[in-house]
């Protein structure tokens, strides 16, 4: 599905634009960025299919949403989007490897999973994330999904994972319904836990919470990435009017560049 391009004047007024990768070379650039952030910066132990890339079997089933710096042409942020249609072809959602999600996936409607979101350290800030969310809002609206879901990572502090302290910073209304019964397949081990939170809630999780995402269940311990992951779920109709007004109505000012989609 091809979306109309904005006029050249509106593009020139912006530094960052969002677009869906159209070529394999663009996906490779996103995988290189993921490798720099997750492996080199965060120290994750990646089981990658290629050296110097964060690449796995899920990638080929996903659309890859990119943020490009118009001054340099570089990809400075990315996330991958796995639709329910493609998850059926793959056989699973990535999040199902970490959480029991039977209650969530029994909900009526279409699901879109977001994952592997990262931003180049030199470009971190609200502008790049807002550009990424603008592209995501357009993608969701075009393909008419009902739920956005995924995993948000929280790194440890110097003394470990402050599970209780971190969760105490999340407002009661930001936790999802308990009857959905989301449970981690591997809990954070007791010997990896600590009492005092020394890092706070990461910016990306803060952004998800501002979007209106719920946190469901206890966190999963991802030993490869040395993070604890929380499962997030967003009912998209809860934010449709708010974010369509902010993002979709202004899409003529955004270079969404939606390629033919896997959704």
pLDDT of residue 261: 76
pTM, rounded to two decimals: 0.88
- Measured CA to CA, the distance from residue 39 to residue 224 in angstroms comes to 10
Tokens of 123: 């470009």
Residue 168 lies in a domain: yes
CATH code for position 135: 3.40.630
Q: Answer whether residue 181 is part of any domain.
A: yes
- Cα distance between residue 35 and residue 13, in whole Å: 31
Residue 189 maps to a domain? yes
Query: 96: which DSSP letter?
Result: G
Contact 63, 102 (CB under 8 A): no
Q: Give the whole-angstrom CA distance, residue 192 versus residue 63.
A: 35
- Boundaries of domain holding 149: 79-251
Residue 194 lies in a domain: yes
Number of domains in the chain: 1
What pLDDT score was predicted for residue 263? 82
Please answer whether residues 75 and 67 qualify as being in contact, where contact means their C-beta atoms are separated by less than 8 angstroms.
yes
Parts of the chain with a pLDDT under 70: 1-13, 239-260
Residue pair 153/222 in contact (Cβ under 8 Å)? The answer is yes
User: How far is Cα 20 from Cα 27, in angstroms, rounded to an integer?
Assistant: 9
52, part of any domain: no
Q: For position 233, what pLDDT does the model report?
A: 97
User: Which pLDDT value is given to residue 259?
Assistant: 52
CA distances in angstroms from 218 to 95, 150, 159, 169, listed in the order given: 14, 14, 20, 14
Tens digit of each residue's pLDDT (9 = 90 or more) over 98-125: 999 999 999 999 999 999 999 999 999 8
At residue 260, the pLDDT reads 60
Beta strands 147-154 and 111-119 are parallel
- The answer to whether residue 13 is domain-embedded is no
On whether residue 193 sits in a domain, the answer given is yes
Question: Is the residue at 130 inside a domain?
Answer: yes
């Amino acid at each position: 599905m091809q979306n109309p391009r904005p006029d050249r004047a509106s593009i020139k007024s912006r530094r960052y634009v969002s677009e869906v990768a159209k070529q394999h070379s663009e996906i490779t650039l996103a995988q290189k960025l993921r490798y720099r952030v997750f492996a080199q910066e965060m120290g994750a132990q990646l089981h990658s299919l290629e050296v110097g890339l964060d690449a796995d079997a899920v990638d080929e089933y996903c659309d890859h949403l990119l943020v490009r710096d118009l001054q340099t042409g570089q990809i400075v942020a990315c996330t991958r989007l796995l639709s329910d249609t493609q998850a059926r072809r793959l056989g699973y959602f990535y999040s199902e490897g970490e959480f029991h999600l039977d209650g969530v996936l029994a909900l009526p409607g279409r699901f879109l999973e977001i994952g592997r979101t990262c931003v180049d350290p030199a470009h971190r800030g609200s502008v790049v994330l807002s550009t990424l969310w603008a592209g995501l809002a357009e993608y969701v609206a075009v393909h008419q999904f009902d739920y956005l879901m995924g995993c948000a990572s929280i790194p440890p502090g110097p003394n470990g994972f402050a599970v209780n302290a971190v969760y105490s910073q999340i407002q009661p209304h930001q936790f999802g319904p308990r009857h959905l019964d989301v449970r981690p397949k591997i809990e954070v081990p007791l010997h990896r836990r600590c009492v005092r939170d020394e890092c706070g809630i990461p910016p990306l999780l803060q952004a998800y919470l501002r979007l209106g995402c719920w946190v469901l269940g206890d966190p999963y311990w991802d030993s490869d990435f040395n993070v604890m992951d929380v499962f997030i779920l967003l009912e998209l109709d809860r934010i449709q009017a708010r974010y369509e007004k902010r993002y979709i109505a202004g899409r003529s000012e955004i270079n969404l560049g939606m390629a033919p989609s896997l959704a």
